[in-house]
Chains A and B, each alone.
Chain A
Amino acid sequence: METATLIIVLVIALALFFDFTNGFHDTANAMATPIATGALKPKTAVLLAAVLNLVGAFLSTEVAQTISGGIINEEQISHDIFPEIILAGLIGAITWNMLTWLLGLPSSSSHALFGGLIGATIVGVGFTAVNFGVVMSKVILPAFIAPVTAGVIAFTATKLAYVLTRRYDSKPDGRDGFRFGQIFTSSLVALAHGTNDAQKTMGIITLLLITSGLQSASNPEPQTWVVFACAITIALGTYMGGWRIIRTLGKGLTEVKPAQGFSAEASTASTILASSALGFALSTTQVASGSVIGSGLGRRGSQVRWRTAGRIMVGWILTLPAAGAVGAAAALIVVWLPVWGVIIDAVLAVVIILFLFMRSRRDEVTASNAMSEVADSGRAVKVKRNPPPTRRQRALARDEARRVAAVEAAAKKAAKAAGRSENRPKDGGPR
């Protein structure tokens, strides 16, 4: 019994650590665009993101219930083995997260978590223990649909924002005002992050409590202490991750215009909030990246850099199976060596975390490793410095050219006439 309790405590600690890394990783999701446009000082942005993540974690528990009450068929799993399996899944998720971070590959903490959990369950218990219907409809399909959705919305919103404020009479267009609006939209993104990402860890801990008999399966809602612990941890992680962003001093960021940033943030926030309300567990990183790419394409004279965009998309597709494989490997150790396996896994987890920590101290902090792929995805779209004119601008230019030509022709005619009248006395003068 005592070892079982010990394992549960260990798993909760690891889950909270995962929550911390999730916040640490994702500060830039909400705050990359407002920092880039200068809407917020990095310090203010980070503090705001941390506080709003905390608030967001309390807003909705739909996503947590998707994880604790749907993905895995708890009744098929015996109570003694399940904590070990969650442990294995978490190790898979953390390992994959660390690996992609070190190699600079785009990744998603959420999909690493699901991949690890599903992989470990398949190996540890069997295929029937995973409820593939729920996994498909609430995890895998949203993973593909959500970034595209966010991109389409951001594209439309950016076009609208530019069209509605475009002026043809060289009066100021007031687009500076979007910079002020960005303070609110980026806050909404941070809030939305709390409603989706903090929930994932709550779901894992609740799942653990249910399977180990500490909570009844009929009530998959997370307990209050779980909600508080996860909310505080993710806020802390967000704040710590923000310090790295502050240290980059905004160097090496992709150029984002306020109107574009405003639209991207509005579409990210609305996509995540709508999904959270329906219990879809999506990757906030991917949604934010999709929005940034979509809003870039919404500007005039934009072009996709397919190489960068392709690299980001490969990362999106690869995360789930790769984390699944690592989780499965960790679960194999547990299954082969009942007691020693847990110890080996726990030691592995500690080694990985320590390595991660040492490595993060050694590296110099630059925009490329602190800003995550959201800032990176800005580079997937190239915008010309002098965009081609709109149809109305072309028409105005044509009119202007015609007017200038007419004036010039009149001037020429006048000059000619003047020349003739001047020359005439010369011609006839000497006679």
Chain B
Amino acid sequence: MIINWLAFVQVFLAAFISAIVVVSFYALGLRLLVRAGRAPVVAPAEFTDAITVISEKEARRAEKAAAKAAKRSPLTDGQKRFALVGAYACFAVCAAAVLGGLLLIVFNH
């Protein structure tokens, strides 16, 4: 019985690298979006009971804290624009990684 252990290593590495690339570039993109002053707000499409809903008071307090923090470290417009471009570049890397992976699977058999 011959077991191709190399194939397992290949699967692990391919899966590991692609997942890590997608997740970290997406996270980095989000971080840069925040830096550019455009923190994404995505409301849940439907409230399931698995979502911890913050109260209005808590939300207001968080907003106030965010505004205060933004005042403490103000960025110039140029820096903000740079961060925004970086964010979009990160998302583009994510999309390219996913599309590349899919194309590899479709045309590789």
Residue interface bits A228-264, CB-to-B below 8 A is 1, else 0: 0000000000000000000001111111101100110
B105 to A, closest residue via Cβ: A277
The answer on a CB contact under 8 Å between B15 and A136 is no
Interface membership of A373, Cβ < 8 A: no
Interface membership of A274, Cβ < 8 A: yes
The answer on a CB contact under 8 Å between B101 and A273 is yes
Interface membership of A44, Cβ < 8 A: yes
Q: Known contacts A60-B109, A156-B20, A280-B11; decide if A179 and B3 are in contact (CB<8 Å).
A: no
Which residues from A are CB-within-8-Å of B106? Answer: 59-60
- Which of A7-15, A164-172, A338-346 participates in binding chain B? A164-172
Specify which of B3, B11, B30, B72 is in contact with A133 (CB 8 Å cutoff): B3
* Shortest Cβ gap from A264 to chain B (Å): 10
The answer on a CB contact under 8 Å between B11 and A195 is no
Which residues from B are CB-within-8-Å of A273? Answer: 15, 101-102, 105
The answer on a CB contact under 8 Å between A165 and B27 is yes
Interface membership of A137, Cβ < 8 A: yes
Specify which of B11, B23, B46 is in contact with A38 (CB 8 Å cutoff): B46
Interface membership of B34, Cβ < 8 A: yes
> Size range of the interface on A?
35 or more
A250 to B, closest residue via Cβ: B48
Q: Known contacts A37-B50, A270-B15; decide if A177 and B30 are in contact (CB<8 Å).
A: yes
Specify which of B8, B19, B49, B101 is in contact with A153 (CB 8 Å cutoff): B19
Which residues from B are CB-within-8-Å of A179? Answer: 42, 44
The complex places the Cα of A161 from the Cα of B21 at a distance, in Å, of 11
The complex places the Cα of A167 from the Cα of B68 at a distance, in Å, of 14
The answer on a CB contact under 8 Å between A276 and B27 is no
Told that A133-B3, A176-B39 touch, could you supply 17 new A-B pairs with CB distance under 8 A? Answer: A39-B44, A59-B106, A153-B20, A154-B19, A160-B20, A164-B28, A173-B30, A174-B34, A177-B33, A177-B40, A185-B22, A191-B102, A250-B48, A255-B52, A258-B42, A267-B15, A275-B15
What does DSSP make chain B's interface, helix, strand, loop or mixed?
Answer: helix
The answer on a CB contact under 8 Å between A274 and B15 is yes
* Shortest Cβ gap from B16 to chain A (Å): 5
B106 to A, closest residue via Cβ: A59
The complex places the Cα of A420 from the Cα of B11 at a distance, in Å, of 77
Q: Can you pick out 21 interface pairs between chain A and chain B where the beta carbons lie within 8 Å of each other? A: A59-B102, A60-B105, A60-B109, A142-B8, A149-B12, A152-B16, A160-B27, A174-B31, A178-B27, A181-B26, A251-B48, A252-B49, A253-B48, A256-B50, A262-B23, A263-B19, A270-B15, A270-B18, A270-B22, A271-B19, A277-B105
Residue interface bits A268-299, CB-to-B below 8 A is 1, else 0: 01110111111010000000000000000000
B37 to A, closest residue via Cβ: A171
* Shortest Cβ gap from A370 to chain B (Å): 13
Which residues from B are CB-within-8-Å of A164? Answer: 24, 27-28, 31
The answer on a CB contact under 8 Å between B50 and A161 is no
The answer on a CB contact under 8 Å between A35 and B98 is no
Which 6 pairs between the two chains have the least Cβ-Cβ distance? A38-B44, A250-B48, A177-B40, A164-B27, A253-B50, A174-B34
Interface membership of A409, Cβ < 8 A: no
The answer on a CB contact under 8 Å between A174 and B39 is yes
Which residues from A are CB-within-8-Å of B85? Answer: none
* Shortest Cβ gap from A233 to chain B (Å): 22
* Shortest Cβ gap from A203 to chain B (Å): 14
Interface membership of B55, Cβ < 8 A: no
Which residues from A are CB-within-8-Å of B43? Answer: 38
Specify which of B11, B34, B44 is in contact with A173 (CB 8 Å cutoff): B34
Interface membership of B65, Cβ < 8 A: yes
Residue interface bits B39-83, CB-to-A below 8 A is 1, else 0: 111111111111110000000001001101110110000000000
Which residues from B are CB-within-8-Å of A267? Answer: 15, 19
Interface membership of A325, Cβ < 8 A: no
The answer on a CB contact under 8 Å between A174 and B30 is yes
The answer on a CB contact under 8 Å between B30 and A37 is no
